[in-house]
Each structure stands twice: as C-alpha cells, then as structure tokens.
Structure 1
Amino acid sequence: MTNTQWFVLIGILMLARGLAATTISRLPFTSAIVYLSAGLILGPTFLNVFHFDPLEQSALLEVLTEIAVLISLFSAGVKMPVPVTLKRWGPPIRLAWVSMTVTVGLVAAFSYFILELPLGAGVLLGAILAPTDPVLATDVQVRHAGDQDQLRFTLTSEAGMNDGSAFPFVMLGLGLLGLHDLGPMAMQWLVVEVLWATAGAVLIGVVSGAALARLGWRLRSGNSKHEVLDDLVGLGLIAVVYGLTVWLKAWGFLAVFFAGVALRQTELMLAGTPKNRHGLMEPDTSKSASAIAGPDREVPPTVSQESLVFKEHLERLSELTLVLLLGGMLSLDVWNGRTVSVAVFLFIVARPLSVAIGLIGTNTTRRIRGIAGWFGVRGIGSLYYLMYAIEHGLPYDLARELTQITLVVIMLSIFIHGTSVKPLMERFWRS
C-alpha cells in the first residue's frame, strides 16, 4: 500500500470509530476486535491488500509499540487515586512479580518439554507472553481517575507494573541464548537487571512525578496565574523519565507508570483531597480548601487531570493503528498445533494457576481471583518485547517461530477476551 492509501484507510477507521462511538460501546465485544477484523480482511489472510512483515519491520514496530505502551502506562498511573498502602497494593504487586515469575516458568517448561525449544528460547517466550497488556485491556482496567472498583484497580496496577517486571526475564532469555552477558553465575543479571533496574526505576519515577507535581502546583498557585500546557508537560515527563531511566540501565516502563502514580498522588495531597470511607482519595480537587488562598480563588488545575484526556486519545489512535497492522501480519501458515497449543496452555493453565499462587494469603475474594485469572489480556506489550528481542540478534528461524506463536496468542486473546469481557464483567458487577 502507498502512503496515500494508508492515510485513507486509517482515516476511514478513525471516522468510523469516532462517529460510531455509542454504537461500538453497546456491542458485546471490544473495539480492538473491529480493528483486528479489518486488518485480517485486508491482510494476507483474505484480500491481501497489504502485508506487514514484523521480521523485516522490527525496528519500526519496536518504536511504535514502545510509544504506545509508554502512553498507556502513564495514563494508567495517573488514574490511581489510591494511597500506596500494602493492604491495597499487595495483590497487584504479587500479580506483577510472583504471578509473572510463575507464568514465565510455566511457559518456559512447556516450550522446553513440549515444543522442544532451547531453554533460553522458552524463558524468552515466557517473558514475552507473561505481561498483561495496558493498551488493549481498557475494558477491564480503571476507566477514570477516581474509579474505586477493586478488580479494575488490581488489573490496572498489575498491567502497569508487569511491563517492567518482565524485562529481567527477557534479558535472562537472551543471555541463555548467548545474546546478552549475564555475568559470572548470572550475578550481573541479578544485581543490575533485577535489583537495581527495578528499584532504580521505581525511585526515578516517584521522584520525578512528585517533583513535577510540586513545580506545577507552585507555578499555578501564585498570584501570576502562570499558564501550564498540561499535554506537553505530561508528554515531556514521559520522555524525560523514560530516557533517564534507560540511560541509568533501569526499566523505563516501570518508571513511567510510577511517575504517573506519584504525579497524581502528590497533586491530590497538595490539594488536600479528603479520603472517603474506604480510605481512597476522591479525584475532585474542588472539594479541597487547603490549596485555596482566599474565598474568591479557584483551585489550580492539575497536570495529571488536564492531560489525561489527550493521552487517552493517543491511546485510541495507537490501538487502532497497531491492531490493524497486527491483522496484516497474520497469514494462514501461522496456524498450527504449536502456536495454538501455547495459547491454550497460557489461557487455561498458566494464567489461572499463576494468579491463584500469587494471590495466596491476600484479602481478594474468590470471584475477583477467578476474573483476574481469566482476563490476562496479551497485546501490544508482548509485541514490543518480541521486537526488542529480534533487534538484539535473535536468530532468524527462532525469531520466526516466536513471532508466529506471539501473533497467534495476541489474536486469540483479542477475540476470546474481547468477546467475554463485557458479559462477564456485567455479571460480576451485578453479583
């Protein structure tokens, strides 16, 4: 397809999505299914109008997926009005690290013993498929700042954190394949890429988000009524935090999520936002009087609240574009027993079992554990990790097989989870 044809295609889909927003919201499936169906019809599976080869375009696809994940992680972070307490954050932290590790181990074992892949390839595949996706899982995540649903909070926080907690396993898999230096007895991997990269990312994200919140609040609270361009400030925070974190050899995805969390939390605290009976912060800063110097002065707007709408628009655009391209990557030859068996094992065995293990001893109900065990949506994050591995020298034959498996898993996740999310969630809320 020419550039002109791409403009027309993307433009038509954007117009249809925008004009039919209410109709699509009432459908029993997610909008990602519409985009994927369009890609499949126009791609090599049916009409073959266009074909997007992820192996040939891995560098471009890595950048596109990287940007999409960063925007989605920041948006998820600024929707968190929940005070950071172990009781509230304990379940998602366990899902992001304990369940993540269990999933990687289970997929690696399946790949090694059943698919007869090298151990390093199995670990790498587990790391690619283990993270839940912050881009495509919007229907089971926090919808707006102040959403107090425990299930949505748990799944959103998990998706925000496990895009960073998966990176050590990506590097471990590459190291076992001889494509990355793990150090003697893997000590370099343990110290640098597990301990420092994780702790450093959280520290950089929290400090940066809190500092920007205080700076923005001070500028707007003065008599000068200083104007702040929230959209640019939000994007600038994402870029600076991510670039600085990667430069210091820590996990940028994790840092961006926690920068969003710290930005929102700090702004709510500066506004003196009260907590409700559940101990959760209310999102409406107008309820606060502590930030108002006088009775005639309005509460300053916040960077997180004002920039969130713009970030959500970017999320929709990136979802539409990347899922459409995903449909153009799929052809009939990717469907075989090996690719489908991984998806079935991941959805039916690995995800439910890892969630059950990760949430042992928490205060989550059996119903929440069951829903969380099913809705482990895979998507753009997995595609990013795959492109990252390919760009780091993954052998062609192995890269091709892992690509086929990943594409089939993502596609089945979009269709299976996308058709079950609305009826199951409605039943969950009624109960």
Structure 2
Amino acid sequence: MELIGIFSPDIYDIGLFYLGIVILIAILIPRFLTDYMITAPIAYLLISASVFFFFPEGVLPHPEESPFLGKRLTEMGVIISLTAAGLKLTRPFAWQSWRYAARLLIITMPLTIALIALFGWRFLGFAPATAMLLGAVLAPTDPVLASDIQTTPPHKEDTSSTRLALTSEAGLNDGLAFPFTNMAIAMALVGIDPSMWFTDWLVTDFFYKIIMGTLVGLVTGWLLAKVIFSCPKPQCHSSAISTSLLAISLTLLPYGLAEMLNSYGFITVFVAACAFRYQETTHEYLNVLHDFSEEIERTLVVILFTMLGIYISHGLLDDFQWYMIPAALLIVLVIRPLTGLIGLTGTSLQRSRKYLISFYGIRGIGSIYYVLYAFDHAGFEQSKEALALVTTVIILSIFIHGLSSRPVMKRWDPE
C-alpha cells in the first residue's frame, strides 16, 4: 500500500484545524478564569509565546517586513470591538456620557502623543518621524482587551462614571489616532519640515476624514436601525442566529463605505453603533448584537495572540533592547496616568475615580494595527526597534492592567 504523502496535510486542512482550536479556546478559557485575577489575554499571551518558542523561525514573516496580514487581522478585531463598545452606551449622544471622555480625547490624548514623541526623540534617540509614530500608536486606549473595565452590556443601566468614561474614550480615540499616525507617515515620506505637508494633513487627514467618518457613521447607523427595527421579526428558531449576523452588517457596511470615501472607518463604526443604539434602547436585538460582537472579538483575539506569540518568541528576541523595559514602564505608569489626571483636572469626579480613569489605558491591539498600518505605507528609520518597544509596552500593559483591573475595579468602582 502506498503511504507516500499520507502525513503531508494540505495547508487548508491545517487552517481548518487551527480555526477549530481557536474557537474552542476562545469559548472555554474565559470560563475557567472567571474566579481568578488572570485575564484571558494574559493566558493567550503565555500560551502562544510558550508554544511557538519551540517552533522554527519563519513560521510567519517578521511583521515589520510583511505587515499586511497583521494589519488586516488587528483591523478586524478593532472594528468588531468598536461595534460592541458603541452598543453599550445607554445614552450615546447625551453630554453625561461624554463629559469626562471629551477631556480625555481633547486634552489627554494629544498631550500623551506629544510627551511620548518627545521622549522617544530626545531620550531614546528615535528619528522624529519614528518618535511621532510611537506617540500616535501608544496614545489610544484599547476597546479590544479591556472589556473588564468597560461599561455594562445594553440590557443593564450604566452605573459607573469610571467605566462609562473609559468605554466612550476607547470608542473614539482609536479613530482619532489616525490623523497623528498619518502625520508620522507624512514626516517619513516627505520630511519633517511642516511646510511640506501640514496644510494637506490638516485639511484632508484631520478635518475631512474625521468629519466625513462621523457623518457616515450617523447616517448608516440611523438607516440600519430604521431598516432592522421595522422588519418583521423571524418566526422560527433561527431568529437569534439571523439577528446575530446583523452585527457583522452593522460593522462592515459602515466601515466599508467610510473607507471607500477615504475617511476614518474606526470613527464611523463606533458612531454607527451609537446611532443604532440611540434609535432603540430596549429592543432585544441590542443584546444579541452586542453578545455576538463580543464572541467574534474573543475569537479574533486568540488569532491575534497567536501572531503576537510568534513574534515574541522569535522576532522580539532579536529586536529587544534592555532600555525598553524602563521606557515602557514610564509610558504605562507615568505618562498616561499623568496626562489623564491633567485632562480630568477641574471635574467633579472623586479623586479615586480620576486615578482609575487615568491609570487604565493602552493594552494594545489598536497600537499593533497602527504601527503595522504605518509600516505598510512608509519606511521608518529604526522600525524594528520601534515595533519591539511598542510590543514591550503592550506586554507590560496586558500584565499590569490585566492583573490589577478586576480587584481594583471591584474594590474602588463596582458596577
């Protein structure tokens, strides 16, 4: 009997096997961790880095050299998460929902970008464009890995100003990091002299894309709500499944349209989810849409951490330098908390809540997307070193914020 090739599986079959494992892990691991401080992302990171440490190099190309796949996967993770975040806001267009987040977006975020960029340029020796990129990608907080500090699901009333501020901030600052990432790209492509790019950047990358992304989100969210909520409800057992699939449409339709109009799809997706939620605050669709979005998000997180584990166990070991640990600690424990407190100065929040909101930022799937997006559009000096520093910040954030979030939030800001 001919046995040649019997143990030479097709790459497609390997992919199916891997996807099956990913879905199983995404469903089961969070259930085992509900009573522990450790979060699912920490478990994924430890498992993936440990497993792939024993794999030969070349399983995946270095993300700096081939950023496309990582960019697309992180992109999908972020937009799915932004949909879930938007659906959580009970009063998405009320000033009460944005009074603290607005300060974090207008004051804290630009200040964080400036301080990290200055630190990277003057003290770490990065080229100006690369330093600007570091500030842009590390300033936004993450809606993907921070579900444990976000506000309540749609069927519950928002009871925590801390969680509400963190959720609304994370919903928009992922999109608002785009203009500054594009600024870094412009600096890398044409030079650091603002006269060569500032006007085009201000008109196109700042005003047009932000305004257009917001308008597209408002219109598509409103239209989808009118269409979906006016349709007859399915009278069969598959209604929950068909309703769940609407979450994909609520994510992909606004995002695709925004990207075709050359605007910021991240802003569009979040605003569309907010507009959708605004049309109906009690409809049972909301809970199904939110829960399904989070399930997709969990699956994508496992896939993303597989890629991150491959990079950590191979590429990061070559790119890493020891100064990155104190530099990352400074960004996570000093710069973000300091700029957060500055942004919240003068508000009526209790001091403990100001500290909580200021402390819990970063985490990083959005940061990975932005740095890979930048690498896909321009060549940056010290790019591998910059990617290693961003990854170090993300790893520290996942452990510091992940291990502390449950006990700290339970003690100082229970739902």
**Structure-1-length-normalised TM-score:** 0.84
TM-aligned CA distance change 1:18 to 1:218, over 3 Å? closer
Q: Does structure 2 retain, via aligned residues, the 8 Å contact 1:128–1:382?
A: yes
Deviation readout 1:210-253 (Å, 9 max, x if unpaired):
1211222222389xxxx893333332232221122122222110
Q: Which runs of 5+ in 2 are unaligned?
A: 1-8
TM-aligned CA distance change 1:147 to 1:415, over 3 Å? farther
Match of 1:422 in 2: 406
| Letter matched to residue 311 of structure 1 | S
Residue 15 (structure 1) shift: 3.1
Aligned partner of 1:239 among 244, 249, 252: 252
Partners in 2 of 1:20 and 1:332 — Cα distance?
Answer: 27
| Letter matched to residue 210 of structure 2 | T
Match of 2:5 in 1: none
Residue 261 (structure 1) shift: 0.6
Match of 1:205 in 2: 217
User: Number of matched residues?
Assistant: 394
Aligned partner of 2:71 among 48, 55, 62: 62
Match of 1:140 in 2: 149
Aligned partner of 1:377 among 362, 387, 393: 362
Residue 6 (structure 1) shift: 5.8
TM-aligned CA distance change 1:18 to 1:49, over 3 Å? farther
- Greater displacement, 398-407 / 63-72: 398-407
- Greater displacement, 374-383 / 237-246: 237-246
Q: Please say if 1:398 is aligned against 2:398.
A: no
Residue 179 (structure 1) shift: 5.5
Deviation readout 1:109-132 (Å, 9 max, x if unpaired):
001110111222111111011111
Structure-to-structure mapping, 1:175-324, within 5 angstroms: 175-178=186-189, 186-220=198-232, 229-268=242-281, 284-285=282-283, 301-302=284-285, 304-324=286-306
Q: Does structure 1 retain, via aligned residues, the 8 Å contact 2:116–2:331?
A: yes
Residue 5 (structure 1) shift: 5.3
Q: Does structure 2 retain, via aligned residues, the 8 Å contact 1:95–1:158?
A: yes
Match of 1:298 in 2: none
| Letter matched to residue 273 of structure 2 | G
| Letter matched to residue 214 of structure 2 | V
| Letter matched to residue 402 of structure 2 | G
Aligned partner of 1:48 among 52, 55, 58: 55
Q: Does structure 2 retain, via aligned residues, the 8 Å contact 1:93–1:161?
A: no
| Letter matched to residue 383 of structure 2 | A
Residue 183 (structure 1) shift: 6.9
Q: Please say if 1:109 is aligned against 2:122.
A: no
- Greater displacement, 359-368 / 61-70: 359-368
Match of 1:130 in 2: 139
| Letter matched to residue 48 of structure 1 | F
TM-aligned CA distance change 1:430 to 1:311, over 3 Å? closer
TM-aligned CA distance change 1:22 to 1:64, over 3 Å? closer
Q: Does structure 2 retain, via aligned residues, the 8 Å contact 1:142–1:152?
A: yes
Partners in 2 of 1:430 and 1:264 — Cα distance?
Answer: 24
Partners in 2 of 1:116 and 1:49 — Cα distance?
Answer: 33
Q: Which runs of 5+ in 1 are unaligned?
A: 269-283, 286-300
Residue 426 (structure 1) shift: 1.5
Match of 1:358 in 2: 343
Q: Does structure 1 retain, via aligned residues, the 8 Å contact 2:89–2:274?
A: yes
Deviation readout 1:260-311 (Å, 9 max, x if unpaired):
011011123xxxxxxxxxxxxxxx44xxxxxxxxxxxxxxx43x33322221
| Letter matched to residue 212 of structure 1 | L
Identity %: 33
Instruction: Determine helix, strand or coil for the equivalent of 2:34.
Output: helix
Structure-to-structure mapping, 1:66-105, within 5 angstroms: 66-105=75-114
Partners in 1 of 2:191 and 2:82 — Cα distance?
Answer: 27
